[in-house]
Structure 1
Amino acid sequence: MEKKAKIYIAGHRGMVGSAIHRKLQALGYDNLLLRTSGELDLRNQQAVADFFAAEQPEYVFLAAAKVGGIWANNTLRADFLYENLAIQNNVIHQAYVQGVKKLMFLGSSCIYPKLAPQPIKEEYLLTGLLEPTNEPYAIAKIAGIKLCEAYHDQYGCNFISVMPTNLYGYRDNYHPEHSHVLPALIRRFHEAKTANQPVVTVWGSGTPRREFLFADDLADACVFLMENYDNPSLINIGMGEDLSIKELAMLVKSVVGYEGELVFDRSKPDGTPRKLMDVSKLHKLGWRHTTPLEAGIRMVYDDFVANCANQ
C-alpha cells in the first residue's frame, strides 16, 4: 500500500479497527478514510453505495461487525445474522463496484466446526457442525469468506479473508452480559476487588481451552498480510498457544490483584471444548506475535482502570 493511498477502515472505533488505525498511523499512512456508525450505517445499502462512489477508497479493512460473547450471540440470533450479513454484503459488493485495489475481510475462529481437530487448519472450514451458541455469527462470517472468494473467482478482485483467534485489547467491550470471556473476567475481578467481595463466580466448568491474541498484534498481522498475501483462501491469525479458562481466570485474578475465592458455575454453557488455531501458514510467510498473554492483560487492565471501570 502506498503511503498516500486512500484506505478505508470500516469499524475504526472498535477494538480491532482502532488497533488497525493505530498501526497504520504509526507506519505513516495519513490518508485514512473513517466514518462512525452514526455517520455511515453500513447496514444501509444505498448509504454504502453513495459513500464508496463519492470517496473511492483504494484499500479496505472490513473490521466492522456486530459482536458479543456467548450470551449475546445466543440471545440476539436474528440481529447477529442479519446485521453482519448486511454490513459485509454492502461493503464487499461496493468494493467490487468501485474497483477497490484490495480488501481484507476479518472473520472469526468461530467459523470452524465445534469439534474440529486441534489445532484448527484453514481447510477444516465446513467439515462439521458449528457451535450452536454462536451459529448465526459464524454463518454470517462464513458467507463473507465465500463472498470474497466468489468475487475473486468471478471478477478477479483481490479480496482476502483473515481468521483471528480470540482477541483482547484496548477499547474492548466490558459489558457484564454481552462481553467475551477475557474482558468479562477483568471487569468481574476488578469489581470484586473494589467491593471486597469474597467470591467471584466464573461461567462454565473452567475446562475449555482458548487462545488469546492481543489486538495490536492482530493489527500488525493484518497490515503484514495486506502487503504480502494475495490468495483468496482464508488464513488464520493467532499465537498457536492456548490455556484453560480456569488458567485464564487465575491469570486475570493475579493481574487484577484480587485475593478472594474463585468458583465455577457449571450450569452456564462452556461453548466449544477447545479452539486452538494452526498458524503454520502465517508463520511460513514470516509473521509471529510479539505480545505475551500476561503482558497484554496487564496493559489492557491498566487501560480498563483508566477509561472503562466506571462505565
Structure 2
Amino acid sequence: MNHNSKIFVAGHRGMVGSAIVNDLKSKGYTNIITRTSSELNLINQDKVAEFFETEKPEYVFLAAAKVGGIIANNTYRADFIYENILIQSNVIHQSYKSGVKKLLFLGSTCIYPKLAPQPLKEEYLLTGLLEETNEPYAIAKISGIKMCDAYRYQYGCNFISVMPTNLYGFNDNYDLENSHVLPALIRKFHEAKINNSDNVVVWGTGTPLREFLHATDMANACVYLMQHYNEKGFVNIGTGVEISIKDLAYLIKDIVGFEGNIVFDESKPNGTPRKLTDITKLTNLGWKYSIELRDGITKVYNEKFLAVK
C-alpha cells in the first residue's frame, strides 16, 4: 500500500474497524473510504456491487461483522450465520470482480474446535467439533477463510485472513446482554461501585482461560500483515498470554476500585475451557503486541467511564 492508495475499511464504526482507520491515519494513509451501515448495507448484494463499481478501492479491510458474546451468539443463532455470511460473501466477491489488489478478512479464534490442543495452531482448523454456543458464528467465519483461499486458488486474488484472539478497546460494546466478557465485567464492576453494591456476579466457575488483545494492537497487526503477508490460510493475532476469568475479574475489580465481593454463578455456562493462540507464525513475520493487559484495561475504563483520555 502507498500513502495515497484507495483503502476501504468495512465496519469502520466498530472497535476493530475504527482502530484500523486510526492506525492507517497515524501512518500517513490519506485516501481511506468508509461507509456507515445506513449509507451502505453490506447485506445487500446489489448495493455492495454498486459501491465497488463506483469507488473501485485498491485495498480492503473487511472488519464488518455481526458480533456479540455468549448470550447473543446463542440467542440469535440464525442472525449470526445469515448476516455474517452475506456480509463477507458480498465484500469478498465484489473485491474480486472490481480488481481489488489485496483484501484482509478478519475472523475470530472461535473457529477452532472446542477441545483443540492448546495453544491453538492455525493447522487445528476443522479438526474437531466447535463450541456449541457460538457454532453459527464460527461456521460463518470459517466460510470466510475458505472463501478467501478459494478466490486465491481460482482467480489469483491476494486475499488474506487473520484470526484475532479476544479483543477489547475503544468503541467496545458494553451492553450486558450481548457484549463479550471483558467489557461486560468492566461495566458490572463500575455500576456496582457507583451503586455501592455488596456483590458482583460473574458467570460460570471462573476457571476458563482467555487471552486478550487491545484493539489498537490488533489494528497495528492488521496493517502490518497487509504490508507483509501474502499467503493462503490465515494468521493468528494475539499475545500468547492467558488469564483465568477469575483472575480477570479480580484484576478489573482492582482497576475499577470496587470494594465488594465477587460471586461466581456456577449455574451459568463457562464456554470453551481454554482458548490461547499460538502466535509463532505471527512472531516469525516480525510483529509483537505492545499493550499489557492491566495498562489496556485501565485505559479503556478511564476513557469509557471516567472520561479520561
| Shared fold (TM-score, shorter chain, > 0.5) | yes
Could you list the per-position Cα deviations for residues 52-97 of structure 1 after superposition, in whole angstroms to 9, with x for gaps in the alignment?
0000000000000000000000000000000000000000000000
For 1:11-160, what aligned pairs fall within 5 Å after superposition? 11-160=11-160
Deviation at 1:105, TM superposition (A): 0.1
Write the letter of the residue equivalent to 1:13.
Answer: R
Write the letter of the residue equivalent to 1:82.
Answer: Y
Mapped to 2, the partners of 1:113 and 1:237 lie a distance apart of 17
Deviation at 1:307, TM superposition (A): 6.0
Write the letter of the residue equivalent to 2:259.
Answer: E
- The TM-score normalised by the length of structure 2 is 0.99
Mapped to 2, the partners of 1:136 and 1:169 lie a distance apart of 25
2:291 is aligned with 1:302: no
Mapped to 1, the partners of 2:226 and 2:91 lie a distance apart of 17
Mapped to 2, the partners of 1:254 and 1:239 lie a distance apart of 22
The aligned counterpart of 2:274 is 274
Write the letter of the residue equivalent to 1:214.
Answer: H
Could you list the per-position Cα deviations for residues 94-113 of structure 1 after superposition, in whole angstroms to 9, with x for gaps in the alignment?
00000000000000000000
Secondary structure of the 2:160 match is: strand
The aligned counterpart of 1:213 is 213
Write the letter of the residue equivalent to 1:153.
Answer: Y
Runs of 4+ in 1 over 4 A off after TM superposition: none
Write the letter of the residue equivalent to 2:87.
Answer: I
Q: Percent identity?
A: 66
The aligned counterpart of 1:191 is 191
Deviation at 1:306, TM superposition (A): 4.4
Mapped to 2, the partners of 1:47 and 1:39 lie a distance apart of 10
Secondary structure of the 2:35 match is: coil
Write the letter of the residue equivalent to 1:30.
Answer: T
Mapped to 2, the partners of 1:200 and 1:186 lie a distance apart of 11
Secondary structure of the 1:188 match is: helix
Deviation at 1:153, TM superposition (A): 0.2
- The TM-score normalised by the length of structure 1 is 0.98
Write the letter of the residue equivalent to 2:117.
Answer: P
The aligned counterpart of 2:179 is 179
Write the letter of the residue equivalent to 1:32.
Answer: I
The aligned counterpart of 1:4 is 4
Write the letter of the residue equivalent to 2:226.
Answer: M
Secondary structure of the 2:202 match is: strand
Mapped to 2, the partners of 1:65 and 1:193 lie a distance apart of 33
Pair 1:57–1:306, CA change in 2 (3 A):
farther
Mapped to 2, the partners of 1:28 and 1:305 lie a distance apart of 31
**Structure 2 segments unaligned to the other structure (5+ residues):** none
Mapped to 2, the partners of 1:233 and 1:108 lie a distance apart of 14
Mapped to 1, the partners of 2:249 and 2:38 lie a distance apart of 36
Q: How many residues align?
A: 308
Mapped to 2, the partners of 1:177 and 1:78 lie a distance apart of 17
Secondary structure of the 1:16 match is: helix
Write the letter of the residue equivalent to 1:191.
Answer: E
Mapped to 2, the partners of 1:253 and 1:91 lie a distance apart of 41
Pair 1:307–1:175, CA change in 2 (3 A):
farther
The aligned counterpart of 1:165 is 165
Write the letter of the residue equivalent to 1:117.
Answer: P
Could you list the per-position Cα deviations for residues 183-237 of structure 1 after superposition, in whole angstroms to 9, with x for gaps in the alignment?
0000000000000000000001100000000000000000110000000111100
Secondary structure of the 1:82 match is: helix
Write the letter of the residue equivalent to 1:79.
Answer: D
Deviation at 1:177, TM superposition (A): 1.1
The aligned counterpart of 2:201 is 201
Deviation at 1:303, TM superposition (A): 1.4
RMSD: 0.9
Mapped to 1, the partners of 2:133 and 2:307 lie a distance apart of 30
Write the letter of the residue equivalent to 1:83.
Answer: E
